[in-house]
């Protein structure tokens, strides 16, 4: 029992040096282009991939599913699955790509995920999750973490959550990210399940008090860096999903506020130039600008010119033969003068 704890503590010291600020795994959103973009705004935020199903890694197009840009580090691969042998095999295959962490999804409530018996419904079978983690740990040379809910359906989170945590920690999990709301496995869409039922941050704080040696990060509904900072008084990490994606400028102050970097005004022109160079490379390799630009449309939400910026990126970038100059045109539409104030809220 203490072995798992000790292993967790060692891994925490190496990699999970609190505080950690993370951008959540989001299917269809946090692909390699999105992560590259976010990395240009924050050097230190931990970036999670979309969930990749173990079976897809074993039988599917590995290179497409797993390759990423070296600049994305630190980057964590999130796996979906419930078969320990398959998850271990997926880790074995994925590891040479150089991920900094492997995370197991125990929180996604979609029907598609449930029919594969993984994601949030695994909250009901802590032994299976523990077997998965143990199998992944045997193969992994990087930390193995779990992202879970506080419970599902009729479960009482006060007992279900600590029971799950104890099992996965004994199995060797190095850290836990907890989405602070229950998942309902029937009757709600995944989208509704991100708003209903209500968030319960307090239970996550109590888990940190109960498992003080373990890295515990909180997720769900965090909108601003001020809110993130308030959570860090209670837990080791904060993970933002939608707010980071839909208003990526929020990431510009992460390095200063959570990682001790000197305060500086965001370098939006530098970001523009780096994204144009990245887009040029992608297009030269046969890709389309839209694949990159679609992640950038929310960047300046709330600033003067943001609407025009969004319009240019969503319409002009979708045209055949669209080039990096579309990015320049979009940035030119924005008045950055109030940007620093807008993102610090
Ligand atoms: C479009 C979208 C896709 C998501 N895909 C995943 C996923 O692949 N794996 C996962 O663990 N959670 C997934 N989530 C849930 C987020 O990781 C996060 O737990 C949730 O959005 C709550 O955080 P937020 O309120 O900061 O957005 C997804 C969320 C969104 C909006």
The backbone torsions φ and ψ at residue 236, rounded to the nearest 5 degrees and listed phi first, read -90, -20
pLDDT band at 15 (very low <50, low <70, confident <90, very high): low
Segment 160-168 shows an average pLDDT of 97
State residue 13's pLDDT score: 53
**In the 8-state DSSP scheme, what is residue 261?**
P
Residue 16's closest CA among 226, 182, 208, 194? 208
Nearest CA to ligand 1 atom 26: 241
pLDDT over 70 at 268, yes or no? yes
State residue 344's pLDDT score: 43
Look up residue 221 and give its two tokens.
């509904």
Lowest mean pLDDT among 41-50, 109-118, 144-153, 327-336: 109-118
Q: What is the DSSP string of 189-255?
A: -TTGGGTSS---HHHHHHHHHHSTTSEEEEESS--SHHHHHHHTTTSSEEEESHHHHHTGGGGGGHH
In ligand 1, which atom is closest to the CA atom of 107? 11
Ligand 1 lining (C-beta closer than 6 Å): 24-29, 50-51, 78, 105, 107-108, 147, 179, 194, 219-222, 240-243
Segment 14-28 shows an average pLDDT of 87
Q: Is 256 strand, coil or helix?
A: helix
pLDDT band at 183 (very low <50, low <70, confident <90, very high): confident
Segment 306-329 shows an average pLDDT of 96
Q: Is the pTM of this model over 0.85?
A: yes
State which of 26, 122, 147 you would mutate to test the pocket of ligand 1, scoring each by most atoms of that ligand within 8 A of its C-beta. Answer: 26
State residue 318's pLDDT score: 95
- The top-level CATH class assigned to 4-259 is alpha beta
How distant, in Å, are the alpha carbons of 10, 144, 150, 193 from that of 181? 29, 22, 6, 9
Segment 200-218 shows an average pLDDT of 96
| 34 belongs to the catalytic site | no
Segment 16-43 shows an average pLDDT of 95
State residue 341's pLDDT score: 46
CA torsion 214-154-103-32 (nearest 10°) is -130
Q: Domain 268-343: which topology?
A: 1.20.120
pLDDT over 50 at 1, yes or no? no
Burial of 97 (0-12, 13-18, 19+ CB in 10 A): middle
Would you kindly state where each structural domain of the chain is located, as residue ranges?
Answer: 4-259, 268-343
pLDDT over 70 at 114, yes or no? no
pLDDT over 50 at 41, yes or no? yes
Percent of the chain, pLDDT > 70?
Answer: 91
Pairing assessment for the beta strands 237-240 and 101-106 based on DSSP bridges = unpaired
pLDDT in tens, 277-288: 999 999 999 999
Q: How far is the CA of 241 from the centre of ligand 1 (A)?
A: 6
State residue 195's pLDDT score: 80
Segment 16-22 shows an average pLDDT of 87
State residue 339's pLDDT score: 55
State residue 196's pLDDT score: 79
Percent of the chain, pLDDT > 90?
Answer: 80
Q: How far is the CA of 240 from the centre of ligand 1 (A)?
A: 9
How distant, in Å, are the alpha carbons of 3, 83, 156 from that of 295? 42, 33, 37
In ligand 1, which atom is closest to the CA atom of 78? 9
State residue 342's pLDDT score: 46
pLDDT over 60 at 17, yes or no? yes
State residue 112's pLDDT score: 61
């Amino acid at each position: 029992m203490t072995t798992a704890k000790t292993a967790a503590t060692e891994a925490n010291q190496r990699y999970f040096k609190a505080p950690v600020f993370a951008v959540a795994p989001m299917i269809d959103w946090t692909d390699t282009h999105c992560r590259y973009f976010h990395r240009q705004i924050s050097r230190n935020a931990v970036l999670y991939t979309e969930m990749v199903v173990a079976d897809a890694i074993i039988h599917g197009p590995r290179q497409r599913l797993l390759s990423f840009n070296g600049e994305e580090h630190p980057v964590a691969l999130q796996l979906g699955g419930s078969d320990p042998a398959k998850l271990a095999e997926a880790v074995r295959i994925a590891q040479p790509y150089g991920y900094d962490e492997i995370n197991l999804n125990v929180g996604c409530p979609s029907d598609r995920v449930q029919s594969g018996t993984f994601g949030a419904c695994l909250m009901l079978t802590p032994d299976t999750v523990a077997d998965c983690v143990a199998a992944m740990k045997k193969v992994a040379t990087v930390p193995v973490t779990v992202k879970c809910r506080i419970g599902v359906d009729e479960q009482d989170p006060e007992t279900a959550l600590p029971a799950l945590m104890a099992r996965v920690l004994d199995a060797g999990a190095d850290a836990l990210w907890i989405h602070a709301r229950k998942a309902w496995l029937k009757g709600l869409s995944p989208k509704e399940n991100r708003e209903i039922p209500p968030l319960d941050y307090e239970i996550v704080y109590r888990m940190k008090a109960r498992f003080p040696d373990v890295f515990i990060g909180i997720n769900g509904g965090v909108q601003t860096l001020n809110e993130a900072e308030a959570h860090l008084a209670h837990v080791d990490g904060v993970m933002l999903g939608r707010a980071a994606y839909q208003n990526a400028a929020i990431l510009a102050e992460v390095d200063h506020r959570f990682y001790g970097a000197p305060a500086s005004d965001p370098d939006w022109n530098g970001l523009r130039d780096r994204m144009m160079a990245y887009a040029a490379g992608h297009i030269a390799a046969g890709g389309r600008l839209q694949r990159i630009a679609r992640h950038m449309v929310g960047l300046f939400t709330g600033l003067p010119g943001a609407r025009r910026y969004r319009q240019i990126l969503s319409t002009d970038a979708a045209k055949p033969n669209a080039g990096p100059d579309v990015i320049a045109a979009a940035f030119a539409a924005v008045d950055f003068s109030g940007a620093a104030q807008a993102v610090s809220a």
